[in-house]
Amino acid sequence: MKLALIFILTAVLFGCGKGFSTKKQDSVPAPDKNPGPISSGLPDSFYDESPYAKLSDQQFEEKIKEVREKQKEKWLQDIPEKYDDVGEFYRVKSIPGISENQVIDSVSYPVVTTSSPKVTATSTQKTLNLIRGKLKFENIKHKLSSDKTIVEIEGQMVFKDKENSQLKPMPFVLKGAYKESEMALTVEDIKSPLFHLLKAKATCTETSADACMSLTIDFYYEVKSKEGTNFYTDQLISKSSLASEIQNPYEEFTTPDIFYQKTPDEDLTDYEKKLKKGKLYQKTLTLEEVETVKDLPSYYVVPTMDDVAILFPEYKPVIQSKKEAEIAKKVNKKKVTLPELKGEEVIPDTEVKIGPPPPLDDGKSHKVKGDTVAKEEPKATVTPSKDVAKTTEPVVVTDKKNQTPPKVPVIVKPEPVVVPKAEPPKKQAPEKILVKEDRGVIENKNRPINQAIKWTHNGYLVNATSLLEAIQKIGPSINVSLLNPGKLRHYGTYDIVDLIVNVGEWVKENTDGFILKVSDISAKKGGYIGHSSHRTGMDADISYITKTQKMAFMDLDRVRGQFTHPDFDGAKQWKLFKEAFDMAPIEVIYVNRKIKNEMCRQALLAGDLKSNTDSKSEAAQVLTRLIVIDSNHGDHWHVRMDCLTLKRMGLQKQCYPWNQPFRGPECQNISIK
């Protein structure tokens, strides 16, 4: 027995140490012509034995279907516990990390008050608060005008200002110009008690025959006080959205990738093998991994002050100031500024036939039943608007001796808001508010904008930015390597290429020679490339940080217990995830269940997470955005840029946001004892 244990321990140590280098690499090494079979180096006994290994393909598919049906049954039973029924819509009762009447966001601003021209003006600090709570909605329904130009939301609202009091519901009708994405809605009846006080932003989440079938509605109710102004907010989702999600739970699926068909499995990483087979579920999965999603998700997108700035323009100056400061903070986190990219990449030679370019989606519905080839390429000429903030950024010099530090953007403070004391506020006829996105601080004035069109799972890409070109122009100092550039899947928005390059730089500075590997982003014109998403240049598949380079894009979750492969550098990966959310507007990062467990453990070990039930700390918010949707992210992480934030920054104007289910940090079962 002792000899067997010694043999296993020796094999593990050999597997972990083989190929490890403590020397930093300044350039990406040329691939070995005969690299040999790719292996984790661990004995088979180290891995979990799958309960499905001996099932036939048909039996395995039937088992998956059986599990999904049980999940649907449970979810339908859980709806009354998780959601309030408010007519055609649901309201999620509890949000992970947000308590009732909690201040979600706040902005302080100076107010100058004068009683007469002869008296010296006095200045006081006031606060704008964004609060989820005190609003109760009933009998909410929506309709579209016959000519499909106006959307209307009708219902009743109660403002629960005092507890245990009988408050009369206030009826309302909100109207706004119909758009395929976001719509600003206002009360047009001047006699309504909610006139100018209640406004909403509606986001279309499902279309059919050029009409919006499902909506997410964010309500904002203005209440002024001596200390400032509170905006009470709540969010409703169409019942059809939740029903659709229960019947067809989102899965990251792929179709067989012809690029790998002639390559033997032993020469491929685990990630590439899955792309080659085009199967989400493999018979190596454990029972726990198959039953990935157990709880009904909470569909909720956290509102921001940007919506307030659009719906209530009088507060725009003070909100804009805070937004610019936040953008400047993210800019300062970056170490590398991308060079000017003009589409001058050099595609490496490859003996593998790439096949025809991917078809473009028609964009009529995001409920994809089949992908069709567009008749012609979408014509989109992108012209930067005149109000672009012109900033001069330093050019990255590869010679470190002559390199100058980047200049910090200068934030201009807004003029104080002047409120006359004597005159009471007058009611004015409501203006039709258009949803506009103002460009904020941009670190590179030559960057392309307006690239991602429509949904990430049913859209396309124009004026693409090439990660390969960025790698070639930055040169040997870059710490990013493309997995199979001949596939021509390395195109994205400027934002995601910028993020990847800076993540690579962080990895170079914080690891001993690990090179960040990147695989699929999007095709040059976007559209379907085998994944369910990756269509608009807003998604990318990136390798986890491992202690040996050979484990990049290899399965890190096929091991015994609830955590990960010993070669996975969980501590560094947790630090990287925290930094990445500070570098750029990221919506979510998709991971595997065991990877998520390991991130919870690392957050607890580092003291970032106060306890395994913590849902309010910054670490808890990062963990909430590490999403487990399937079992297909044990060999890579999938990052998705935040469409809403990029629109508010004026960097993407035609991307469509998507309702993302959140389940909180999910660390309750993790212990470090």
Question: SS in 3 state form for 489-540?
Answer: CEEECHHHHHHHHHHHHHHHHHCCCCCEEECCCECCCCCCCCECCCCCCCEE
- How many H helices and E strands in the chain? 13, 24
Residue 461 domain flag: yes
- pLDDT surpasses 70 at 129: yes
Measured between alpha carbons, how far is 410 from 344 in angstroms, rounded to an integer?
Answer: 33
Looking at the structure, do residues 329 and 473 belong to the same domain, yes or no? no
3-class secondary-structure state, position 176: strand
Instruction: Please give the Cα distance from 307 to 648 (Å, whole number).
Output: 9
| Exposure class string for 638-670: b at 16+ Cβ within 10 A, else e | bbbbbbbbbbbbbbbbbbbbbbbbbebbbbeeb
* pLDDT, mean of residues 542-553: 92
In this predicted structure, the answer to whether residue 395 has a pLDDT above a threshold of 60 is no
SS3 content of the chain, % helix, strand, coil (to 5): 25, 20, 50
Is the same domain home to 320 and 454?
no
In the listed set 276, 307, 333, which residue is the last one of a domain according to the structure? Answer: 333
Mean pLDDT comparison of 159-168, 312-321, 418-427, highest-scoring range: 312-321
pLDDT of residue 74: 84
Q: Are residues 194 and 67 in the same domain?
A: yes
Identify the band that residue 308 occupies on the pLDDT scale cut at 50, 70 and 90.
Answer: very high
* 634 shares its domain with 502: yes
Structure tokens at 88: 């055609």
> What pLDDT shows up at residue 116?
64
Q: Which bin fits 112, alpha (ψ -120 to 50), beta or left (φ > 0)?
A: beta
CA distance 36 to 615: 46
More confident residue, 530 or 191: 191
Closest CA to 586 of 507, 477, 654, 498: 498
Q: Which residues contact 334 (CB under 8 A, 6 or more apart)?
A: 406, 443, 498, 502, 583
For residue 3, being part of any structural domain is answered with: no
What is the token pair recorded at 81?
Answer: 């516990």
**What range defines the domain where residue 118 resides?**
40-248+285-333
CATH code, 469:
3.30.1380.10
Instruction: List pLDDT tens digits, range 517-543.
Output: 999 999 999 888 878 789 999 999 999
- Is residue 35 in some structural domain? no
Once rounded to an integer, what is the mean pLDDT over residues 434-462? 68
CB atoms within 10 A of CB 425: 9
pLDDT at 279 (0 to 100)? 63
- Chosen domain end from 333, 362, 391: 333
Residue type, 550: K
Question: Considering 272, 299, 333, which residue would you say is the last residue of a domain?
Answer: 333
Instruction: Give me the pLDDT at residue 288, please.
Output: 61
Q: How far apart are CA 62 and CA 290, in angstroms?
A: 12
Q: Is 552 exposed, middle or buried (0-12, 13-18, 19+ CB in 10 A)?
A: buried
Instruction: Kindly state the average pLDDT of the residues 73-86.
Output: 90
Q: What percent of the chain lies above the pLDDT cut of 90?
A: 30
Instruction: Assign 166 a pLDDT band (cuts: 50, 70, 90).
Output: low
Confidence of residue 336 (pLDDT cuts 50, 70, 90): confident
From 104-108, 425-429, 563-567, the region with the lowest mean pLDDT: 425-429
pLDDT at 184: 93
**In this structure, is residue 207 part of a structural domain?**
yes
Query: Are 627 and 426 contacting, i.e. CB atoms less than 8 angstroms apart?
Result: no
Q: What is the mean pLDDT of the chain?
A: 75
Same domain, 329 and 457: no
> How many domains would you assign to the chain?
2
388 domain-assigned: no
Confidence of residue 424 (pLDDT cuts 50, 70, 90): very low
Measured torsion, CA atoms of residues 502, 508, 510, 512, in degrees rounded to the nearest 10: 160
Find out whether 537 and 520 touch, Cβ atoms under 8 Å: no
pLDDT band at 367 (very low <50, low <70, confident <90, very high): very low
The answer to whether residue 425 is domain-embedded is no
Confidence check: pLDDT of 188 > 60: yes
Residue 630 token pair: 């399937």
Most confident of 205-214, 281-290, 397-406: 205-214
Instruction: Verify that 328 and 454 share a domain, yes or no.
Output: no
In a domain, 353, yes or no: no
Q: What is the pLDDT of residue 109?
A: 80
Same domain, 62 and 195: yes
Q: What would the mean pLDDT of 105-125 be, rounded to a whole number?
A: 73
Q: Output 10 or 576, whichever has higher pLDDT.
A: 576
Q: Looking at the domain assignment, is residue 272 inside a domain?
A: no
Position 267 confidence tier, pLDDT thresholds 50, 70, 90: confident
Confidence of residue 646 (pLDDT cuts 50, 70, 90): confident
pLDDT at 562: 67
Residue 352 pLDDT exceeds 50: no
Question: What mean pLDDT do residues 318-334 have?
Answer: 71
φ, ψ of residue 367 to 5 degrees: the values are: -85, 90
Give me the phi and psi of 452, to 5 degrees please: -80, 125
Proportion of the chain above pLDDT 70, given as a percent:
69
Separation CA 568–CA 83 (nearest Å): 38
Would you state the pLDDT for residue 251?
Answer: 56
